[in-house]
């Protein structure tokens, strides 16, 4: 019986297996349910652009060569400024007859500045070395008429918001430290920086006359210079400690330190304090910034007989810069207090001399980035004898290739007021001058 059921079971398996296979086959070939049609987007994404390679040679404020990774770089720069200068001066001669002594006109060409510079750098570190021949200075005494080192300094800049420099450089103090001497609207610096109250005349090759005190400019110094920025670059801070007893300075003869500091704040737009005294970039939105600066010079100054003329000087300045669609405005006010010595010229019993002054310039591009008209003026009001000085003028600037190649022409009238009581003469020296400067640099 058992054998019977085994035979029956085996027969059932043999019969049912093909039937099950056919059933599965039919199910596999049934019509599939309709599915949603997938529509591909017609927008095609562009391929990622290849990464730009760092150029290994080119021009960026100077001709450079650099490594492929951009870490090492060597930049070469050069500059030459030539100037034609005409000057006519009149000086009071006899107060009773009001006659004047008119000096012979000066016609001359001279080399205002010629320089060549090397600027090697590695990542955060850079070195600037320049050899310069100059008859122009931002302080009360012209530069020596020979080739000298400077500027020359080493810098450490770990990011765009901080830098530390050690070497021979101009201290950050007033509005003119915001402008490169290559990118000014004026042919030369104004009297608030350069006028020496008689000791150094307007033109750098003539004889000096009286000796009193300098104006508000600080000389190039050997020292430490700091720069930092906050608030996304709107607030900029500067500080320096320097030894001003270099040959471009008539002060700091005992190697005392000069301390200087400056702060600027950009109120609107991009900062107008970008190294350019003009609006050559033709700003499409208004740019406005203000600045404050101060300096303390603790440095007795002596005459040829070893007598002390002054002990120290403290100076302060406030300024404003504005740029918009080719128009530029620069305004600065100055004040200083000088502690005088026994050999200085001042009123009897006075221990301090207070000086104030201002500078203003305005420029307008009548042809954008090509032709600029400009006007300027500055005055110094000094306490004591041989005190005041005025300068007013205007000019035309032609930009052949930005500041790299330009021609500048200006006229100015300078009045140097004299009150030399022992000579019995009161009045002022009047100087008319025309200057033409050509500048080329790379």
pLDDT tens for residues 339-356? Answer: 877 655 545 556 788 889
Q: Is residue 39 part of a domain?
A: no
Q: Is residue 195 part of a domain?
A: yes
Separation of alpha carbons 20 and 29, rounded Å: 15
pTM score: 0.77
Give the total number of structural domains in the chain: 1
Structural tokens at position 259: 């301390």
Structural tokens at position 142: 């012209």
Structural tokens at position 371: 């032709």
Q: Which of 72-86, 89-103, 271-285, 290-304 has the lowest mean pLDDT?
A: 89-103
> pLDDT at position 248, please?
45
> pLDDT at position 357, please?
95
Residue 313 has pLDDT above 90, yes or no: no
Q: Is residue 110 part of a domain?
A: yes
Alpha carbon 389 to its chain's center: 26
Separation of alpha carbons 266 and 424, rounded Å: 51
Separation of alpha carbons 225 and 162, rounded Å: 11
Mean residue pLDDT of the chain comes to 78
> pLDDT at position 218, please?
83
Structural tokens at position 14: 């043999």
Q: Is residue 183 part of a domain?
A: yes
> pLDDT at position 349, please?
59
Helix, strand, coil share (%) of the chain residues, nearest 5: 10, 55, 35
> pLDDT at position 378, please?
95
Q: Is residue 2 part of a domain?
A: no
User: Which residues are CB-neighbours of 346 under 8 A, at least 6 positions away?
Assistant: 340, 353, 383, 384, 385
Strands 57-59 and 63-66: antiparallel
> pLDDT at position 430, please?
84
Q: Is residue 10 part of a domain?
A: no
CATH number of the domain that residue 252 is part of: 2.40.160.10
Q: Is residue 198 part of a domain?
A: yes
Segments forming the whole domain that contains residue 109: 63-441
Mean pLDDT value across residues 306-316: 77
Q: Is residue 17 part of a domain?
A: no
């Amino acid at each position: 019986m058992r054998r019977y059921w085994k035979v029956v079971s085996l027969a059932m398996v043999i019969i049912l297996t093909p039937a099950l296979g056919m059933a599965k086959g039919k199910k596999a070939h049934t019509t599939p349910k309709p599915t949603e049609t997938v529509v591909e987007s017609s927008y095609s994404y562009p391929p990622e652009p290849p990464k730009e390679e760092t150029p290994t040679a080119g021009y960026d404020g100077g001709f450079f060569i650099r490594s492929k990774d951009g870490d090492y770089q060597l930049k070469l720069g050069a500059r030459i400024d030539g100037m034609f200068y005409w000057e006519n001066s009149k000086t009071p001669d006899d107060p009773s007859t009001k006659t004047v002594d008119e000096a012979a006109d000066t016609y001359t060409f001279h080399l205002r500045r010629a320089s060549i510079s090397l600027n090697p750098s590695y990542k955060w570190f850079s070195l600037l070395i320049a050899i310069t021949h100059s008859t122009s200075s931002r302080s009360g005494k012209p530069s020596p008429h020979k080739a000298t080192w400077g500027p020359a300094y080493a810098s450490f800049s770990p990011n765009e918001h901080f830098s530390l420099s050690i070497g021979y450089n101009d201290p950050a103090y007033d509005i003119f430290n915001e402008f490169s001497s290559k990118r000014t609207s004026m042919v030369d610096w104004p009297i608030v920086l350069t006028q020496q109250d008689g000791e150094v005349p307007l033109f750098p090759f003539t004889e000096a006359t009286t000796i009193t005190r300098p104006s508000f400019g600080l000389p190039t110094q050997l020292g430490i210079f700091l720069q930092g920025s906050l608030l996304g670059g709107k607030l900029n801070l500067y500080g320096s400690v320097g030894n001003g007893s270099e040959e471009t300075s008539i002060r700091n003869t005992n190697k005392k330190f000069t301390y200087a500091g400056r702060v600027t704040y950009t109120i609107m737009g991009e900062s107008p304090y970008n190294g350019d005294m003009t609006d050559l970039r033709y700003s499409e939105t208004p740019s406005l910034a203000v600045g404050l600066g101060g300096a303390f010079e603790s440095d007795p100054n002596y005459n040829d007989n070893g007598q002390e003329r002054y002990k120290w000087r403290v100076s302060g300045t406030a300024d404003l810069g504005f740029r918009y669609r080719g128009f530029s405005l620069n305004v600065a006010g100055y004040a200083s207090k000088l502690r005088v010595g026994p050999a200085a010229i001042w009123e009897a019993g006075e221990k301090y001399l207070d000086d104030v002054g201002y500078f203003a310039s305005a420029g307008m591009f009548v042809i954008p980035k090509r032709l600029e008209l400009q006007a300027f003026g500055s005055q110094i009001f000094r306490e004591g004898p041989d005190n005041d000085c005025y300068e007013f003028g205007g000019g035309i600037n032609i930009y052949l290739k930005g500041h790299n190649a330009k021609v500048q022409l200006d006229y100015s009238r300078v009045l140097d007021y004299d009150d030399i009581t022992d000579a019995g003469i009161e009045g002022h020296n009047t100087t008319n001058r025309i200057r033409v400067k050509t500048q080329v640099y790379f």
